[in-house]
Amino acid sequence: MRMTIRQICVLSLLALLSSCAKENVTGTGYLSDPNAVVVEAGVGSLTRSNPLGTEDEQKAFNSGDVIAVSNGGEYFNYTFDGGVWTPETGKYLRWETSSMTFNAYYPASADNSFDLGRLKTDQSDLKDLIASDYMRVSQKVDKTSDNKLTLTMKRMTSRIIVHVKGFQDEFKGLNPKVSGLSVRISTVINKYGYGGPLDTEVNAYMAANGDFYLLSPQSRANLLEMSLTVDCGDGQTKTLKAYSSPLLEPGKSYTFNLLVGKNTVKVAGINVNDWQTGAPIVDHDTEVEEYDSWDGAAIANDYDGGTGTAEDPYKIRTAAQLALLASKVNGGERYLYKYFDLTGNIDLAGHPWTPIGNKDNNFGGEFNGKGFSIINLTVSDHEYSGLFGRAYYQCTIRNLNLRNCDIRPKASSSSGTSIAGLLVAGIYGGVIDNCKVEGMITLSEEGIVGGVLGISSVYDLTISNCESDIVVETPLDKDNSVIAGGIAGSFTMGRISNVLARGKFVGCTMAGGIAGNLADDSNYTCELSDCVSYVDIYANKVSSFNKIGGLVGYWYNGGKISDCSAYGKISYDNESQWGYLGGAFGIGYRVVADHVHFGGVIELGEKSNGTLGAFVGRASNITTSGCTYSKSGAGNLNPWGKMEPEGSESQQDIKAI
């Protein structure tokens, strides 16, 4: 029978629950009440402890485990004594109606509640790793004839596994090993499921096979810092850093494969799997995806088969074949109406990448990533910076994942502006669908940047089903204009739908969680639907150009937006009277907004000036219906800073909740 280390996976709580507190009945105890809570821990119901036991033993809880359950009032703890679950205080819950909503969380401790989970600040001990596996559930349940209730707990953490894939040649003849690992994470999980600042260096648990394990909340900030203690084998011990920017999601497991040198550590691949019911915290049988690694110079002579038709696409399996595509496009081959399929994961290994397409040549075909990933993309000193530099209006890019991107664009010699997007810097029009990107863009000059896209042109463009986790930084002491968006920096015409953006912007002068600038021309309009942003925006640069919104910084020429929400923090400290800030839009002209919500927080500095609103800074000829904002998050701000024309305020449907 295979021995694994298994811990809490997804819990099923089989309980007899009731709706109000009642004192213990004397004589035979609380079980004499026919509606009392009786938790039965059996195979297939409560799967939790005995992490070093057999598979059967792992399906039982350990004596002393505690869960907390409520129906909206006081929480009651139930402790497992090895056979049954017993209420700790002699009080319990009772059924009072035929349908009730129950809340529960695990582990029940003084540090945790239903709205706030706390992870251990040191997870190097297995019991502390186990105690960090925070879960909760809120579920409406109909009463059954036997009063039994099954609640399925939702895992609120991500599992991080660090696997040392190998050591570089400089260790030849030595016996190096990694003896310790810590990761800088947040150790709290708020009621929305997110962590706070990545401000705690947490030691990881080291398994017998040398892999390291750690649990983390999902986080809006995406730069993961890992510190390795490396025993070099020659008497030296070094502390080395490795960085990655994964899009951590709760209930998923991330395996980082590291190549360790004497002075550097490279992320050689990332494996992402669902962390499903029955999955252990620690599993020595974790499978690792393979990546074809690039040496920074190789360019293939041909693709891995195919003729470029829809039925027989060109196949790209290796990094050298991807470099061939860049070389061909930059040499003038547009590949108009040609098709490409990615057939494997690629690791660009941090070597300088020349984007596919430049200011003179662009890509016009269809690139299908087929769900594969390209990692460790590094681009610098290019005017159009991203995996793709420039793409034509018939272009389609779909089903591709980018991780751990580092973009440092160069300003154009003619305009003084740099263009960057993790996926594509500039595109005339076309389709971008089902792509996930994460990484960092750092600017020293003026720029237009976005998570998926830097800038689009005058043709229709659709961005759909995409996710972005991006950090954008520009010097606060430099008066340079930077337009930034979680999905698109500047979007001229088309639709953005069903997208999610996370990340952080620092020093940007025109910024929005979804788009920095929309429809920057009087002839074009845009539509947004089902967009969500968790981007934090730090607009503390003294500038007369600030236009900041949780969703859109500057919506220039109208369009429609529906069912969109922003939950990030906006920190604003600008003394210019020409600054504009709103929870949803900094400026909105001729916008029709339906069910748009700002649920984040606006923090204003002492010098804050300008046109500031909880929902929109400056609005001109807008129409709103069912729009809301968080009263607690917006402080004393009015719904809008300025509404035009005068007298249209009463026509708006914007409410504080």
User: Which of the 8 DSSP states describes residue 24?
Assistant: P
Q: What is the pLDDT of residues 80-103, one digit of tens each?
A: 777 677 788 778 877 778 888 888
Contact 107, 66 (CB under 8 A): yes
Q: Flag whether pLDDT at 616 surpasses 90.
A: yes
**In CATH terms, are 12-154 and 157-286 the same topology?**
yes
170 C-beta neighbours (distance < 10 Å), count: 12
Q: What are phi and psi of 57, to 5 degrees?
A: -65, -30
DSSP H stretches of helix in 289-411:
319-330
What is the SS3 assignment for 616? strand
User: Which of the 8 DSSP states describes residue 632?
Assistant: H
Question: Which of the two residues, 236 and 286, has the higher pLDDT score?
Answer: 236
Which residues have CB under 8 Å from 270's CB, separation 6+?
Answer: 244, 246, 254, 255, 256, 257, 289, 373, 375, 403, 404
Lowest mean pLDDT among 169-173, 454-458, 551-555: 169-173
CATH number of the domain located at residue range(s) 12-154 in this protein:
2.60.40
User: Which of the 8 DSSP states describes residue 606?
Assistant: T
- Host H or E run for residue 80: strand 76-80
Q: Flag whether pLDDT at 9 surpasses 50.
A: no
Q: Residue 455 and residue 534: Cα distance in Å, rounded?
A: 21
Could you tell me the residue ranges of all domains in the chain? 12-154, 157-286, 292-656
Burial 388-403 (b: 16+ CB within 10 A, else e): bbbbbbbbbbbbbbbb
Q: Which two tokens stand for residue 88?
A: 């700790």
Q: For domain 157-286, say whether CATH 3.40.50.920 is its number.
A: no
Let me know how long the chain is: 657
Residue 656: what pLDDT?
A: 93
Taking the whole predicted model, whether its pTM rises above 0.85 is answered as no
Lowest mean pLDDT among 17-21, 222-226, 563-567, 583-587: 17-21
Q: In the sheet that 99-106 helps form, which strands lie side by side, from edge to edge?
A: 85-87, 76-80, 66-70, 99-106, 135-142, 154-155
The CATH class given to the 292-656 domain equals mainly beta
Q: Flag whether pLDDT at 339 surpasses 90.
A: yes
DSSP H stretches of helix in 61-149:
126-131
User: Which of the 8 DSSP states describes residue 257?
Assistant: E
Q: What is the pLDDT of residues 263-291, one digit of tens each?
A: 888 887 777 777 754 455 665 444 556 78
- Report the DSSP beta bridge partners of residue 340: 314, 367
Residue 311: what pLDDT?
A: 98
Q: What is the pLDDT of residues 356-379, one digit of tens each?
A: 999 999 999 999 999 999 988 999
Q: Flag whether pLDDT at 353 surpasses 50.
A: yes
Burial 98-124 (b: 16+ CB within 10 A, else e): eebebbbbbbbeeebebeebbbbebbb
Residue 73: what pLDDT?
A: 83
Alpha-carbon distances, residue 582 vs 407, 448, 603, 627 (angstroms) = 29, 20, 12, 13
Alpha-carbon distances, residue 563 vs 247, 514, 629 (angstroms) = 23, 13, 13
Residue 521: what pLDDT?
A: 64
Q: What is the pLDDT of residues 531-545, one digit of tens each?
A: 999 999 998 765 667
